[in-house]
A and B are shown apart, each in its own frame.
Chain A
């Protein structure tokens, strides 16, 4: 191993704060802790039900007969698919080999999650691409924002917030409330998401090392928290609408040919 390579691999995460252009940067570990705290504060809000609660209808019914379950799965198609695209586009911009490879793996895993979601929906006679073609605008906003971020510190911070909230405020709740409906998807996605979050943690510590990078990443974290919450509320609204439509006898599952999947 060359000395250059050895140096790049050195763990500086606990080194004291450094001065950059007059502004003070936190140590990478301290900075990560700050971002973790922002995320934890938001998660507390989710736990308290401040932004609404995920409900999945009458448990007596089969999952495929519950509009809330179908609505959520349909709404999740867009994030899984667009995330794979955004991650793939970012790969050429990542100079560090290890992160590059792990982001490539993440992109591939998001496509596997997508495949599971689409498979479930198609099996239930639903159009799996309905909300890829017509996604919730609040979700589109989240991903447009993430896709447009300039630096890797910002990108990985946004991903960290997004993936952490998805795991804790969505996936784990889905598992707790309606495991019978979602286990096929969750058995794969939950372990993967935990891995993705860890990748983002390490990447934040690697890239957000200057005062300027940390300032920018901090702003991104705040903005992502807000837009994730908007996206979450939009999903709840959509689920409620689907349930109301079903109660009114509308929106029967569309005839769908599984050949399309």
Chain B
């Protein structure tokens, strides 16, 4: 039997009322804890805003010399590749150390793959440098202090969710601030490294995001993770500036 127009109107009003109640409840709970997806969204916004600042040149710009000169003849390119060896190897070590802390077997397996990927990136860098007759481990053995600081900080984080929040920020910033810039300015010099890394970065960011979604579910955890994100983003920017300065210093 079809409902009368009046009955339908009453029913719609009831639904509107219920919807309002649900929204009020959701807004109240948001004051306590963001749902993990919203928390990720906020982290993403922080990351994007920093990436925009970096790309606008606010913290200096990478310069890789005269692109018509072969890359192996340009100190800027050599230095850039040397600088990158340390982060790739340290990330591999640090993710490896977190594997026993991860109880979820899917995360464990994906983290294990990330370790292999990062070591693969380091291998590409080292092979390029060695083929140019360079000491591939020079800046691994004596890294830039600002970059070392990032890794010391990340290493000190207690829980996997804090660790992967830092990873989420750093991996996410590395893509637009380094890989994209290197590809735009000098694809010839960095193509091999970029092809090796680019495909993997998405899965590493996805792993970090999934760990956050799984574990950053309480106000306390989200607050901790937010602080981690702020700190690591600041340290990342300092590391970026140090790299820009190093590239300049090595040619002057």
Contact = CB atoms under 8 A, between A and B. Distances in A.
B115 A91 contact: yes
Nearest to B130: A1
B133 A84 contact: no
A115 B109 CA distance: 9
**B interface majority secondary structure:** helix
A247 B132 CA distance: 70
A95 to B, nearest CB: 10
A108 interface: yes
A81 B122 CA distance: 27
A114 B134 CA distance: 41
B92 A84 contact: no
A101 interface: yes
A111 B96 CA distance: 13
Given A2-B135, A114-B105, A89 B97 contact: yes
B112 interface: yes
B126 interface: yes
Contact of A92 (B97, B120, B123): B97
A156 B130 CA distance: 28
Interface residues of A, number: 24
A152 to B, nearest CB: 15
A84 B99 contact: yes
Contacts of A4: 135
Contacts of A85: 99-100
B99 A2 contact: no
Interface string A89-131: 1011000010011001101100110110010000000000000
Interface of A: 1-2, 4-5, 81, 84-86, 88-89, 91-92, 97, 100-101, 104-105, 107-108, 111-112, 114-115, 118
Given A107-B115, A118-B105, 11 more contacts: A85-B99, A88-B97, A88-B115, A89-B97, A91-B93, A97-B123, A101-B123, A104-B96, A104-B112, A107-B99, A111-B108
